[in-house]
Structure 1
């Protein structure tokens, strides 16, 4: 499957991206966030766009639960030990007096962007800075609160390892992205056919005892849990084991239940069911885990890779996302004559000869 852009080596002197690259990143934000999937499934691509637009060494996204606490995250380059600390020790190490953490940044009682840039010495002395930011090799941080529908849904952060700190212009650029990021938590425009999720990789399995506690997790399950970056499930070190309340944390506290959690790149699907016990053996249950990647994200990546104008890319995306050709007049704001002209260019770039073929090509 197509992957997100790779993070470049750390920059010594940040510089504005060329105009064409900047326009491409704004297009990426618009298309990806416009899918309405939330930020977790599109986090790798969105972080790459934010980092490039502002000029940073790395980016991170933290999505929040209804209480404003971090539910999961994606960080482009934080070490495994730092990830474990954040996921498993958040309340003990990073929520005390003097700590400015993701939860406090989510509160609507200060500027939407750049709060960490203004804090100075108190923040530099905090656990949040020293055990998370500095431990990841970064010196400067720029933050953004992502709001929508009366609440904060996420916090975005950009990092620089050295050199000059973030400027007011950088802050303004990041704040401008907030409107696009908020779209990720709203409904996509127009109605389209629902695209199936794409299973990625082998399923993982966890055996539970009669009390619902993990007895055994295979390598695939351990890797899925490690990559999920869900609160309370930091399994980055070799000695880490799933917590006793793993089933509850994954939303399958009851036998026979199924659940899905937003994770970087998609959703972690979990199914809990009985295992057939051997004669006289103990009662056990099985958790089956699998990563589901949204096909919509693959469609957008393929559209962005085509040599098309922004409007032509929007039209092509409508095909790949399951819209009818007639929807282009309303959703892309083009007349029939203009649509025919743009479709000729799209078909030439893709080799498709009609709307249906174009849709099929973008979904492969």
Structure 2
């Protein structure tokens, strides 16, 4: 039970950050799979028109991912239960595919996606926030025992936390960290991709954006309308939520040499969100549920004087719990703890995070 309690708290802490589900998608999928009981999990987030804007699947073959991203027409029409259909608010939030009809098992959605991934059973959840569908969750199992009503109830319970990811959350403590930067050179004739470095191809591949199934791709495989697919205007920029962060895309004009034509350079940069890293660092520490809440409050930049009101505890209890937190983290005071959790202080080691037993949870 303590392990399951920790997983529920981890899910809630990540979602309370209010950064959407895309940047925390790998964490969310792993947590839902463990909490509900599944062999694999997938998460699809929606754009303002209710269409799938990106996804994360834990173990999907690259051929299936490319098919899903590049050939959406295969999964529309009569008998196709696609992500857009599951996002419609005209049925139960959870379990539309618990007991599908025979037509579903003849569909492309099942045979080219679900079955091709080695799955048979699907448990789905529609995540709603601010009056519209924001995401669809899919949990999967191979042929054999399917999902139970009890498991559907667990996924329904998780929906409350997932919806919080789309509400205003904690501000980022410090600047966003850039993890990788790549470039795509566009030619002057129609702004078609002319050259892309390996990092840019990797960033586009990992973004899982519609129309950009790029596994094993080279520059020649990039779509001619790359700017359009990125929804990027010439001389503009955009922040695109993707698994594990935000993809910052910007198009710069390159001044031509004498007699040359104007070219464009698209710079792609994966940025990690510091508030997510704070939660992950806290979860590495062997703390109690209450102690984790206190530590996260420090890591997200709140003052100690505000902590009691934010968490709903008295000053005496805060002081007692903080003493243990500081000892575990190897920090001297509240400000030093915040620096540790924000990755600003690397000279001290959070030694206890790796030496104390799991029983502390």
Fold shared by both chains (TM-score > 0.5): yes
Deviation per residue, 1:233-267 (Å, 9 max, x gap): 1112446722111112223222x211111111111
2:137 is the alignment partner of 1:159: no
Once residues 256 and 52 of structure 2 are traced to their aligned partners in structure 1, the CA distance between those partners, rounded to angstroms, is 38
Deviation per residue, 1:183-241 (Å, 9 max, x gap): 000012xx65643211112x111011222221111111111000000111111244672
- Of residues 138, 155, 175, the one that matches 1:174 is 155
Alpha-carbon offset, residue 323 of structure 1: 1.0
Alpha carbons 1:192, 1:323 under 8 Å: kept: no
Once residues 116 and 197 of structure 1 are traced to their aligned partners in structure 2, the CA distance between those partners, rounded to angstroms, is 39
Aligned to 1:6: none
- Of residues 305, 308, 313, the one that matches 2:292 is 313
Alpha carbons 2:172, 2:273 under 8 Å: kept: no
Structure 1 runs of 4+ with >6 Å offset: none
Alpha-carbon offset, residue 339 of structure 1: 0.8
What SS does the corresponding residue of 1:164 show, helix, strand or coil? coil
- Of residues 48, 68, 83, the one that matches 2:50 is 68
Once residues 222 and 29 of structure 2 are traced to their aligned partners in structure 1, the CA distance between those partners, rounded to angstroms, is 28
Aligned to 2:260: 281
Aligned to 2:194: 215
Alpha carbons 1:144, 1:174 under 8 Å: kept: yes
Aligned to 1:144: 125
2:251 is the alignment partner of 1:272: yes
Alpha-carbon offset, residue 335 of structure 1: 1.0
What SS does the corresponding residue of 2:221 show, helix, strand or coil? coil
Quickly say closer, same or farther: Cα 1:192–1:281, change in 2 above 3 A: closer
Alpha carbons 1:193, 1:323 under 8 Å: kept: no
Deviation per residue, 1:77-104 (Å, 9 max, x gap): 11111111111111x1001111011100
Alpha-carbon offset, residue 341 of structure 1: 0.6
2:82 is the alignment partner of 1:104: no
Once residues 326 and 60 of structure 2 are traced to their aligned partners in structure 1, the CA distance between those partners, rounded to angstroms, is 42
Alpha carbons 1:31, 1:300 under 8 Å: kept: yes
Alpha-carbon offset, residue 279 of structure 1: 2.3
Aligned to 1:248: 228
Once residues 142 and 44 of structure 1 are traced to their aligned partners in structure 2, the CA distance between those partners, rounded to angstroms, is 18
Once residues 349 and 237 of structure 1 are traced to their aligned partners in structure 2, the CA distance between those partners, rounded to angstroms, is 45
What SS does the corresponding residue of 1:315 show, helix, strand or coil? helix
Alpha carbons 2:23, 2:243 under 8 Å: kept: yes
Aligned to 1:16: none
- Of residues 28, 39, 47, the one that matches 2:29 is 47
Deviation per residue, 1:288-321 (Å, 9 max, x gap): 1010011111111111121111111011001111
TM-score, scaled relative to structure 1: 0.91
Once residues 184 and 192 of structure 1 are traced to their aligned partners in structure 2, the CA distance between those partners, rounded to angstroms, is 13
Alpha carbons 1:57, 1:161 under 8 Å: kept: yes
Segments of 5+ residues of structure 2 without an aligned counterpart are 344-361
Once residues 148 and 260 of structure 1 are traced to their aligned partners in structure 2, the CA distance between those partners, rounded to angstroms, is 21
What SS does the corresponding residue of 2:247 show, helix, strand or coil? strand
| Count of matched residue pairs | 341
Quickly say closer, same or farther: Cα 1:291–1:193, change in 2 above 3 A: closer
Once residues 123 and 346 of structure 1 are traced to their aligned partners in structure 2, the CA distance between those partners, rounded to angstroms, is 52
CA RMSD of aligned residues (A): 1.3
TM-score, scaled relative to structure 2: 0.92
- Of residues 21, 28, 43, the one that matches 2:3 is 21
What SS does the corresponding residue of 1:115 show, helix, strand or coil? coil
